[in-house]
C-alpha cells in the first residue's frame, strides 16, 4: 500500500515547522495542507498538531505519527528502488552527509559507487557530525561519513570503518620548522594556526590531544571549510592541523610542507554510518558493499 499524501504533508510540516513553507514544499496551498492534517486527525482520532494561530509544534501523538510516517515513506522508497533495480538496474538519489575532513577522500567511495551504478545520483553535503546524525534520524540523509567513535555511540546506526587518519601539520615553506622531518604537538601550538571551528568533531579530537598534554590551542583563524584552511596555509601566514587523507587525492599545495605530528602519534578512524532499519533499501545495500570493498583496499595499502 502506498503512503497516503496526508502523511507526506505531515512529514513536510514537521520538517519545515511552518504551514506556508510546508505547503510550498508540497506544491499545494496552505488551506489544502491544513485540511489534510485535519482529515488525518479525524481518521486517527488524535490531535497531531498543537493548536494555535501559528504552528507551534507537534503533540506527542503527532510525533509518534511522524515517526511511523517516516518509516512508511522509507519502506515505499525502498520498494521503488527494488522495482527499478529489477527492471533497469539500480537508480535513485543518494543523500550523503560528510564531515569536512573527509570531503576529499570520500570521492573514493562515491566514484566506486557511480562506476558500478551509473543511474544513481549522489548529493554530498559538508556537515558537522551532530548535523549528520540528526538529519539521518529525521530521514533527511541516507548515510553519513563520520569518525567511527561518533557512529558507534548511536545504537540505531550500522558503522563500517573505511580509513585511518594520521594527523599532520601543514606549514608554509620557510616556517620555523624548515628542514624538520616531524613536529611535536606542543611545538605546533607555538605557530599561528588555522583550524576547524570548535563544533566540528575533528577540532574536538585535536583539542582533546592538547588537553592531554596540559595545553590549550588558540588558533588565530577558525573555519568550517577544508578549502579555506588550505587557502590560509597557502597564503604563508598560517599553519594547520588536519588528517593526511585530505591530501591523498588533491595533492600537496605548492609552497607547503607536510610534517607528521608526533609525541603523541595520533590516528582516528573514519567510517560510513547508515540507519539500522529493515528492510534495508537496495541503494544502501550497494553503498555498504562498496564501503566494505574500500575498507579492504585501504587495509591492504597500509
% helix, strand, coil for the chain, step of 5: 45, 20, 30
CATH numbers and ranges of domains, the chain: 5-79 (1.10.10.10), 88-163+269-301 (3.40.190.10), 165-267 (3.40.190.290)
CA gap 113, 7 in Å, rounded: 32
- Average pLDDT along the chain: 88
Question: pLDDT, tens digit, for every residue of 176-217?
Answer: 898 899 999 999 999 999 999 999 888 999 999 999 999 999
Residue with cell 578549502: 227
| More confident site: 3 or 233 | 233
Whether the predicted pLDDT of 1 surpasses 60: no
Whether the predicted pLDDT of 219 surpasses 60: yes
Whether the predicted pLDDT of 78 surpasses 60: yes
pTM comes to 0.71
Report the DSSP beta bridge partners of residue 240.
170
12-16, 147-151, 235-239: least confident range: 147-151
Q: What does the block give as the cell for 23? A: 505547503
Q: Are strands 221-223 and 240-243 parallel, antiparallel or unpaired?
A: unpaired
Cα 302 to chain center, whole Å?
25
Whether the predicted pLDDT of 260 surpasses 90: yes
CA gap 237, 64 in Å, rounded: 53
| More confident site: 5 or 279 | 5
Amino acid at each position: 500500500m502506498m503512503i497516503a499524501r496526508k502523511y507526506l504533508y505531515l512529514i513536510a510540516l514537521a520538517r519545515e515547522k511552518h504551514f506556508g513553507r510546508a505547503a510550498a514544499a508540497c506544491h499545494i496551498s496552505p488551506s489544502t495542507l491544513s485540511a489534510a492534517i485535519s482529515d488525518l486527525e479525524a481518521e486517527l482520532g488524535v490531535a497531531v498538531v498543537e493548536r494555535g494561530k501559528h504552528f507551534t509544534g507537534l503533540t506527542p501523538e503527532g510525533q509518534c505519527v511522524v515517526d511511523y510516517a517516516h518509516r512508511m515513506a522509507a519502506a515505499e522508497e525502498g520498494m521503488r528502488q527494488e522495482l527499478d533495480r529489477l527492471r533497469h538496474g539500480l537508480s535513485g538519489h543518494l543523500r550523503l552527509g560528510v564531515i569536512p575532513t573527509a570531503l576529499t577522500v570520500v570521492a573514493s567511495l562515491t566514484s566506486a559507487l557511480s562506476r558500478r551504478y551509473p543511474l544513481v545520483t549522489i548529493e554530498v553535503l559538508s556537515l558537522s557530525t551532530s548535523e549528520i546524525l540528526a538529519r539521518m534520524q529525521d530521514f533527511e540523509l541516507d548515510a553519513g561519513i563520520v569518525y567511527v567513535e561518533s557512529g558507534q555511540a548511536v545504537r540505531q546506526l550500522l558503522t563500517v570503518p573505511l580509513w585511518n587518519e594520521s594527523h599532520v601539520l601543514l606549514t608554509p615553506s620557510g616556517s620555523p620548522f624548515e628542514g624538520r622531518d616531524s613536529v611535536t604537538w606542543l611545538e605546533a601550538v607555538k605557530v599561528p594556526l588555522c583550524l576547524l571551528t570548535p563544533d566540528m568533531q575533528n577540532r574536538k579530537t585535536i583539542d582533546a590531544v592538547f588537553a592531554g598534554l596540559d595545553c590549550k590551542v588558540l588558533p588565530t583563524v577558525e573555519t568550517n571549510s577544508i578549502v579555506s584552511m588550505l587557502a590560509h596555509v597557502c597564503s604563508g601566514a598560517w599553519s594547520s592541523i588536519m588528517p593526511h587523507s585530505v591530501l591523498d587525492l588533491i595533492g600537496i599545495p605548492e609552497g607547503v610542507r607536510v610534517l607528521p605530528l608526533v609525541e603523541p602519534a595520533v590516528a582516528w578512524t573514519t567510517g560510513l554510518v547508515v540507519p539500522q532499519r529493515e528492510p534495508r533499501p537496495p541503494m544502501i545495500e550497494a553503498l555498504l558493499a562498496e564501503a566494505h570493498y574500500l575498507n579492504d583496499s585501504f587495509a591492504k595499502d597500509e
